[in-house]
């Protein structure tokens, strides 16, 4: 409990300080300095996770992460630290983020300047066009693009319907997709105040190559990410392997959700 409290103070006060510095950098014509600030802030958070909070995170499968972009990453989303851990490894990363984040004071202004990709998860075809436009800008700049196909923070061991936005990026940008599995939610679950000391991992998996039809791609992506995440959860929790449960959220719901199907079959 003491380590969790100490880390929270370090994280939230440090983030506030960095946000204030970021606002001062917003008027600069190029986002390069702001992206550098994001990278070094993320690395400082990862340092604090390890040495203050006792959260030791392993990066696995780095041979599957191309060094230079453009690259599409599809990530399991357990924790608000997921993006931080990616930003600490990939300088200049572009995240696909819900439009609500762009409305936050300070943070929204910085996200705009960083040229993050805004998306309305309920926006339909018009929003898909906006997503493609801003993602194309990031792609043309040679950036890594990270998207969370479920669109929500999930409890470890649960999954939600994968949204098709990732498929249209895969198709329209003609880029392979690198799936990313994680068990970080075991230590830092979603936006929980209390963190747990221990070990977890992020794993970059072999890329899904271009040319698949929508149904095949979506099925392959979901099975790849969920199976690998379930394996990591079993490894780091010490519990037997258990396939993730599908949950259904009501519109606007941000809680755990309600299971509506049986778990996936064990591979």
pLDDT of residue 245: 92
pLDDT of residue 234: 97
pLDDT of residue 117: 82
The residues, ordered by sequence, that sit 6+ positions from 75 with a Cβ below 8 Å of its Cβ are 82, 86, 146, 147, 148, 149, 179, 180, 182, 225
Side by side, the strands of the sheet bearing 144-147 are 55-60, 198-204, 177-182, 71-75, 144-147, 94-98, 117-119
Q: What does pTM read for this prediction?
A: 0.86
Ranges of residues in the chain whose predicted pLDDT is under 50: 250-263, 265-267
User: Could you tell me the two tokens for 166?
Assistant: 């990732």
Backbone CA torsion sign across 206, 210, 211, 215 = positive
User: Could you tell me the two tokens for 9?
Assistant: 């103070």
């Amino acid at each position: 409990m003491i380590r969790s409290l100490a880390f929270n103070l370090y994280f939230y006060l440090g983030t506030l300080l960095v946000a204030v510095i970021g606002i001062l950098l917003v008027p600069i014509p190029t986002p390069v300095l702001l992206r550098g600030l994001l990278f070094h802030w993320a690395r400082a958070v990862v340092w604090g996770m390890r040495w203050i909070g006792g959260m030791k995170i392993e990066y696995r499968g780095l041979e599957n992460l191309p060094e230079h972009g453009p690259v599409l990453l599809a990530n399991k989303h357990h924790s608000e630290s997921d993006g931080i851990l990616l930003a600490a490894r990939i300088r200049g990363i572009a995240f696909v983020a819900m439009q609500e984040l762009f409305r936050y004071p300070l943070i929204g202004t910085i996200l705009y300047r960083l040229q993050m990709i805004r998306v309305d998860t309920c926006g339909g075809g018009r929003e898909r066009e906006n997503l493609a436009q801003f993602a194309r800008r990031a792609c043309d700049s040679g950036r890594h693009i990270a998207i969370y196909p479920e669109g929500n923070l999930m409890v470890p061991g649960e999954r939600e319907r994968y949204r098709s936005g990732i498929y249209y990026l895969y198709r329209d940008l003609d880029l392979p997709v690198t799936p990313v599995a994680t068990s970080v939610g075991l230590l830092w679950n979603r936006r929980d105040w209390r963190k747990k000391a221990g070990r977890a991992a992020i794993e970059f998996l072999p890329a899904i190559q271009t040319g698949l039809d929508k149904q095949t791609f979506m099925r392959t992506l979901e099975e790849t990410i969920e199976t690998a995440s379930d394996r990591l959860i079993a490894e780091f929790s010490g519990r037997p392997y258990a396939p993730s449960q599908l949950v259904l959220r009501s519109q606007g719901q941000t809680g755990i959700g309600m299971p509506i199907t049986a778990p996936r079959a064990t591979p």
